[in-house]
Structure 1
Amino acid sequence: MRSRSALAGAKKATWAWLWLVILPMPATAEEPHHVQSACSERTSLRSTGTVNLRIDNDMFGGVGQDQGYSNGFLVSWVSPNLVDYRSDPCLPGIVQALNRGLALLQPEGFDEQNMTVGLSQMMYTPTDRERRDLITDDRPYAGALMFSLGYNARRGDSLRTSQLRLGVVGPAAHAEEAQSEWHRLLGIGRFHGWDNQLHNELVVQLIHERRTRVMRRESATGWGGDLTRHWGGSLGNFATYANLGGELRFGLRLPDDFGTAPLRPAGENTSPLHEPTSHAGSAHVFVAYDARAVLYDITLDGNTFRSSHRVDKRPFVADVTYGVAMVHGRWRIALARYHRTREFHGQKEVPVYGTLTIGRRF
C-alpha cells in the first residue's frame, strides 16, 4: 500500500501540472486593454484561439475492448497565429518565459506560426480486470500524466511541428483513481491489478513531424477534398520511434489546415491557418493511416531505470483511423475510431478504440 504522504505529494504534483495548463488560457477582462485588443485583431495573420477537450476510450471500439490503451483525456489550448513565440502579447507571461528557454524547438522564417499547451492523462491495462496478481503474458498496468508544449510553423502547403512532453509514469499519474471513477460513473466493474503498475518515473518525449498537403480540390459549392502526407519521429524515455503516414478528407468547406485525425502532433485542426476561419458551418469525413518503427515504448518495455513488468513488443505498429468532424459557429465536434495492429507478441485482441473531441473558439 502506498503511504498517505506519497499520495499527498502526488496530488500536489497533479495540481501543479493542471495550473500550468489553466494559466495559458485566453486573456481575461482583468488584463490590460491593449493586450486584449492585440489578441482580438482579425487579420489574415491572426486566427482565433481554441480550447479543446478530447476523451479517448477503447469502449468506443465495441464490446470486449476495455483493455490495452484503456482510457485517456487531453485538455489543450491552441493559440492564435503568432508574430513570434517569445514576446507575442497573445501569450501569457509564463508561456513567454518558458518559450525563451526552448528556442531550439521554435521554427523561424515561416509565414504563419502558432503553439499548443496541453495536459493529458493516459492509462493502459491488461485484458483480465479481475486478477490481482501480476499477469506476466499481458501488457503492464501503466498510467501517464503529461504536460506538453507544441510549436507549429507553416509555409504554404508545408507544416513543421515540434512538441515537448514532460510528465510522470506510475502511481503519481493517478491513472488508477481516474479509471476507477470513470468506471463508477458508467456502472462498470473496476480493474483490480493496479498494485502491479509500473513504478514512478519522470518521462521526457520530444516529437517532430513534417506535413505536406499534396492535393486540395474545392468546387464553387464548397464541396472538396484534400490529401496530406506526414513523416517524423519521437525521442525519449516515454517513446522512441520513426513514423510516416497520410490523411484523406472530403466534405463541405474543409478547414485550411493539415489534418483532423486525433493523437497526432498538429492534428485535430490545430495547425496555423493561412486564411481566416469561415463563420459558416462545415462538415467532413476523414481516413488516415500511420506506420511506426518502434524502438522503445515504456508502457510495453517497462521502466527505464528499474526492473518492472514488461512484454515482448512488436517493432512495427500501424494505425488506421476514420471519423467525422463538424463545425457550427464557435463550436467543433469530432468523432474518430482507431484500428491498431497488435503491439506485442501474445496480445489477445486487436486494439480498437475511439475518441471524442469538443472544441470552442474564443
Structure 2
Amino acid sequence: MMPLLASAQDAVDCRTEATQRIGAPVVNLRIDNDTFGGRDQDQGYSNGLQVTLVSPNLVDYTDDPCLPSIARRLNRYMDALYADAFEQQNMVVTLGHAIYTPTDPVPVALIEDDRPYAGALLVGLGYNARHGDRLRTSLLRVGVVGPAALGGKVQSEWHRIVDADRFRGWDNQLRNEPVFQYIHERMRRWPGSASRDRGVWDAIGHAGFSVGNFATYANTGIEFRLGLRLPDDFGSTPVRPAGENTAPRIVFDNRWNGHLFVTSDARWVLRDITLDGNTFRDSHSVDKRAFVADVGYGVAVTRGRWKLAFARYHRTREFERQRERPVYGSFTIGRQF
C-alpha cells in the first residue's frame, strides 16, 4: 500500500491523523480458477486474477494526505461517483485479468456452438461509503478485451508450467476492443448490532447494477455467515466486481477466528461481451441466457490483520447449448496495514 503515499510529508501527515481514523489500508489478492471446481472443469470462466487496494478511512477524497497527489487531483473530476458525509469513506483501486475459453481445447477451427475465446484486462477506480451496517460502493472499470489482453499467452504459459492441455483455438478470440463498466451496489447487514456485538451469525444483502459495453445487468443476492467472532466487514465473497470493495474492518482480534458462508447472486443480463461478442466488429458469439445465478459456499479465516477465504461456486448455464453448468473456485488473501 506504500505506493499510495505521495510524499514523505504526506506520509507523516497521514500517520499523525491515524489515531483519529477508522480502519486501515487493505491489500487483497484473489485467484479464481475452474480447476478448483473439480476435474475436467477447464472451460468457461477459466481463470481470473485480481489485486485490490483499499485506502484507509478518508476525511476527504480531494485533500486527504493519505492519498497521493495524483489521486486527489483525479478525484476532483470523479465527484459524481462518490458520496460525502459518511462515517467511513474509502477509495479502491483494482487491477484484474480474466480468461474465457470453450470446453474443448483441441480444435484450431472456430467452435460455433460454444462460447468465444476471450481475454480481458481491466483497471478500476471505486469508492466505498459506509454508515453503520450499510455500505454503498461505486466502481468504474476500463480496459481492453482481445489479443491486447494477452489471454492466450498467459494461459499457454501457465498450462506449460503445470503440464496441462494447451488450448489451440486462440486465433478465433474476440477482437481488440476498449471496454468500460460502471458498477453500483448497495449492501445491508443484519442484525444491525453485528458491528458492535460480533455475533455468531449475520446476513448481508446486496442489490445493484452494471452499465457498459463490457457488461450490462441488474443483480441482487444475499450472503449468510455462521462462525466465531464474525469480522466487522461486508462479506467473504469477492467474485462480484463490487463484492471485493468492502470497507476495511474496524475491529481487530489477534485470535484465530473463522466462519462458514453461503452466498447467492442473481443477474438479469442485457450484455456480456464475452458471450455477445465484439460491439463494433463482427466476431464469434453465442445466444446468451438473460437470467444467470451463482450459488457459492466456503470458509473464511481471520487473525489480526490477515484474512483468508476459499469458496466454490456453481453457476447456471450462461448460453444456449452450453454443455455443463460452470463450477469454479476462488481463493483470496487479504491484509490490512
Q: Normalising by structure 1, report the TM-score.
A: 0.88
Conserved 8 A contact 1:255-1:269: no
> Are positions 1:278 and 2:256 aligned together?
no
> Are positions 1:113 and 2:92 aligned together?
no
Conserved 8 A contact 2:28-2:51: yes
Give the corresponding residue for 2:3.
25
> In the aligned structure 1, how far is the partner of 2:254 from the partner of 2:13?
21
* Structure 1 residues 46 and 26: CA distance shift in structure 2, 3 A: farther
Give the corresponding residue for 2:159.
183
Structure 2 counterpart of 1:325, one-letter code: A
Give the corresponding residue for 1:166.
142
Structure 2: stretches of 5+ with no match in the other structure: none
Give the corresponding residue for 2:291.
316
Q: Deviations over 1:42-89 (max 9, x none)?
A: 546331111111111000000111000000100111111111212211
Conserved 8 A contact 2:185-2:208: yes
Give the corresponding residue for 2:45.
69
3-state secondary structure, aligned to 1:172? helix
Q: Deviations over 1:102-152 (max 9, x none)?
A: 110011221111121011000100001010000000000001000001111
Conserved 8 A contact 1:74-1:120: yes
> In the aligned structure 1, how far is the partner of 2:170 from the partner of 2:276?
17
Q: 1:344 aligns with which of 310, 313, 319?
A: 319
Structure 1 counterpart of 2:260, one-letter code: V
> In the aligned structure 2, how far is the partner of 1:75 from the partner of 1:202?
21
Conserved 8 A contact 1:112-1:272: no
> Are positions 1:302 and 2:277 aligned together?
yes
Give the corresponding residue for 2:103.
127
* Structure 1 residues 306 and 327: CA distance shift in structure 2, 3 A: same
> In the aligned structure 2, how far is the partner of 1:199 from the partner of 1:77?
30
Q: Deviations over 1:299-329 (max 9, x none)?
A: 0000000111000000000000111111223
> Are positions 1:210 and 2:186 aligned together?
yes
Structure 2 counterpart of 1:199, one-letter code: R
* Structure 1 residues 285 and 203: CA distance shift in structure 2, 3 A: same
Structure 2 counterpart of 1:141, one-letter code: Y
> In the aligned structure 2, how far is the partner of 1:283 from the partner of 1:269?
20
Structure 2 counterpart of 1:227, one-letter code: A
Structure 2 counterpart of 1:83, one-letter code: V
Q: 2:234 aligns with which of 258, 264, 289?
A: 258
Aligned residues: 336
3-state secondary structure, aligned to 1:87? coil
Identity of aligned residues (%): 58
3-state secondary structure, aligned to 1:25? helix
Structure 1 counterpart of 2:273, one-letter code: I
When the two chains are superposed, the root-mean-square deviation of aligned CA atoms in Å is: 2.0
Q: Deviations over 1:271-297 (max 9, x none)?
A: 244x34333332111111000000000
How far did 1:185 drift?
1.7
3-state secondary structure, aligned to 1:104? coil
Give the corresponding residue for 2:70.
94
Structure 1: stretches of 5+ with no match in the other structure: 1-21
Conserved 8 A contact 1:209-1:230: yes
Conserved 8 A contact 2:207-2:220: yes
> In the aligned structure 2, how far is the partner of 1:93 from the partner of 1:322?
41
Conserved 8 A contact 2:144-2:178: yes
Conserved 8 A contact 1:61-1:354: yes
Conserved 8 A contact 1:331-1:360: yes
Conserved 8 A contact 1:141-1:196: yes
> Are positions 1:241 and 2:232 aligned together?
no
> In the aligned structure 2, how far is the partner of 1:249 from the partner of 1:147?
30
> In the aligned structure 2, how far is the partner of 1:40 from the partner of 1:143?
44
Conserved 8 A contact 2:297-2:311: yes
> In the aligned structure 1, how far is the partner of 2:15 from the partner of 2:98?
33
Give the corresponding residue for 2:301.
326
